[in-house]
Chain A
Amino acid sequence: MIRLVGVLLWVNGRIVQTENFHVTNTIHEHPIHAVEAIEAEDLDELAIINITGDVSSKEPFVNHIRDLARGLRIPLIAGGQISSVSDFKQLLNVGADKIICNTAVIDDPALVETAVETYGSATVVASVDLSATLAEKIGNSRIYHNRLRKPISLTLDSWLHRQKELGIGEIFFNNVEHDGARIGYDLKGLQHVIENSNSPVIAFGGVGDWSHLAEGVDIGAGAVAFGNALHYVETAPRKAKLFLKRNGYAVREI
């Protein structure tokens, strides 16, 4: 059964929207407001990613995760600024169920390997930000690094190989050009990842219409995620599920 995942992007305590990885506006001044506004319990998982880009954001982020986890009875995925085992430990201790890492997979694979050994593969999610342009062969597409802050370093296929080697349980797939663009997921990139890995894949980036979610399901994603679209309409998760259900997709009903 497909999972519907809501993604909140967190910058210094605020929930924001982005377009092509640039922050465009603040939606909520505190994640708790976002969780209430979107009626998060209708989702199958909630992800919240710290995209601040500063180590000083770690502690406030952990505090917010603690606040959120208190009242949330669905799985919580937390990520961003993961650079030590202590980062995994702290977030898991306050109530996160899975940890997403992105830069660490590229810069510090040994850390990720340790996390998988310590917390289990099901606890670690590897996030990849693809740029769908340029490459002749999808496998040669470039991975963006640290949310565009560093030069590109790996190809998609090398990244997939590494994800497998490290035993990471799940993949969170995003595409920079699709972020905030409302054109649907990068289906080619997504398909390549799904076909070239054994792990469940969470599709993300570009949802503007509920039919985009269906496209993600059809292509074999284990979960379909959306971020900006959470804030376009009221009770977005509920509406998304209604759409999927009406179009013949099995979803968890509340």
Chain B
Amino acid sequence: MIYVVDYGVGNVASLCNAIEEIGIACALISSPKKLKPNDKLVLPGVGAFPRAMHELKNASLLEFLYEEISFGRKLLGICLGMQILFEMSEEGGQISGLSLFPGLVRRFEVNPGARVPRIEWARIKKLKEHELLSGSSERDFYYFLHSFYCPLNDYYTIASSSYGIDYSAVVVKENLVGAQFHPEKSGRSGLRFLRNFANWE
């Protein structure tokens, strides 16, 4: 079962629809719950970093997430859900995230031809081999919709994207993965990514 964390800041419907489309059982979780050994978690996120952290705290989900993660629960953070896994974000001041990945989430600088938010389909550059990227090719496109980006990291970034600056498109650390694009909105490429996550041992 894949549990999608419903903390009021995500497009949970689309995520569940996509997960079900690949044939995996999906349910929402909005407060701490006892999970089975093979269950996985998905942390969506749409909106703003400060509010997301606030909602997680309010729902008593922070402790729960830290515990699950420390016990090896596989978790996928999507878009803002990926950003809150990092140390801190510039959004709304310097707000602390879950600090599971190092670094500061920053706002894109506006450049001619690169307006903010970034709203476009784009390819990603595979930097390391990983089962989460299995079956993907250089020609796949993913949907990006964001104003802030996560920095590159030599250890954790397995795929990057470019928008005036190179940044992390996918990060992995042990049982944690973050994806800046929306796999539930990225057509077949996205479904493949979700399937890889579902199959990830």
Point out residues on A near B: beta carbons under 8 Å: 1, 3, 41, 44, 66, 69-71, 73-76, 92-98, 117-123, 169-170, 198-200, 222-223, 252-254
Closest-CB distance, A150 to chain B (whole angstroms): 30
Q: List 23 A-B contacts (CB under 8 A).
A: A1-B120, A66-B13, A73-B21, A73-B185, A73-B191, A95-B17, A97-B11, A97-B14, A97-B46, A97-B182, A98-B145, A117-B51, A119-B46, A119-B47, A120-B147, A122-B119, A122-B147, A198-B110, A199-B116, A200-B115, A252-B121, A253-B141, A254-B187
Measured in the bound complex, the distance between the Cα atoms of B143 and A122 in whole Å is 13
On chain B, which size bracket covers the interface? 20 to 34
Q: Which among A66, A117, A120, A222 is the interface contact of B46 at CB below 8 angstroms?
A: A120
B32 within 8 A of A: no
B18 within 8 A of A: yes
| A-contact bits for B5-34, CB 8 A (1 contact / 0 none) | 000000111100110010000000000000
Q: Which residues of B contact A169 (CB under 8 A)?
A: 117, 119, 147
Closest-CB distance, A201 to chain B (whole angstroms): 8
Chain B 94-140 residues near chain A, CB threshold 8 A: 110, 115-117, 119-122, 139
- With A3-B120, A44-B121: A118-B11 Cβ-Cβ less than 8 Å: no
Q: Which residues of B contact A117 (CB under 8 A)?
A: 48, 51
Q: Which residues of A contact B110 (CB under 8 A)?
A: 198
Tell whether, in the assembled complex, residue A75 and residue B185 are in contact, meaning their CB atoms are under 8 Å apart: yes
Q: Which residues of A contact B145 (CB under 8 A)?
A: 75, 97-98, 122
Tell whether, in the assembled complex, residue B117 and residue A170 are in contact, meaning their CB atoms are under 8 Å apart: yes
A-B contact count (CB 8 A): 93
Tell whether, in the assembled complex, residue B47 and residue A222 are in contact, meaning their CB atoms are under 8 Å apart: no
| A-contact bits for B48-78, CB 8 A (1 contact / 0 none) | 1001000000000000000000000000000
Q: Which residues of B contact A76 (CB under 8 A)?
A: 14
Q: Which residues of A contact B146 (CB under 8 A)?
A: 122
Q: Which residues of B contact A120 (CB under 8 A)?
A: 46-48, 80, 147
Q: Which residues of A contact B119 (CB under 8 A)?
A: 3, 122, 169-170, 200, 222-223
- With A69-B17, A74-B143, A120-B47: A97-B185 Cβ-Cβ less than 8 Å: yes
Measured in the bound complex, the distance between the Cα atoms of B21 and A194 in whole Å is 38
- With most chain A CB atoms within 10 A of its CB, the pick from B14, B17, B18, B188 is B14
Q: Which residue of A lies closest to B116 (CB)?
A: A198
B190 within 8 A of A: yes
- With A92-B46, A119-B46, A122-B146: A252-B11 Cβ-Cβ less than 8 Å: no
Measured in the bound complex, the distance between the Cα atoms of B188 and A120 in whole Å is 26
Measured in the bound complex, the distance between the Cα atoms of B95 and A141 in whole Å is 42
Closest-CB distance, A90 to chain B (whole angstroms): 11
- With most chain A CB atoms within 10 A of its CB, the pick from B11, B80, B186 is B11
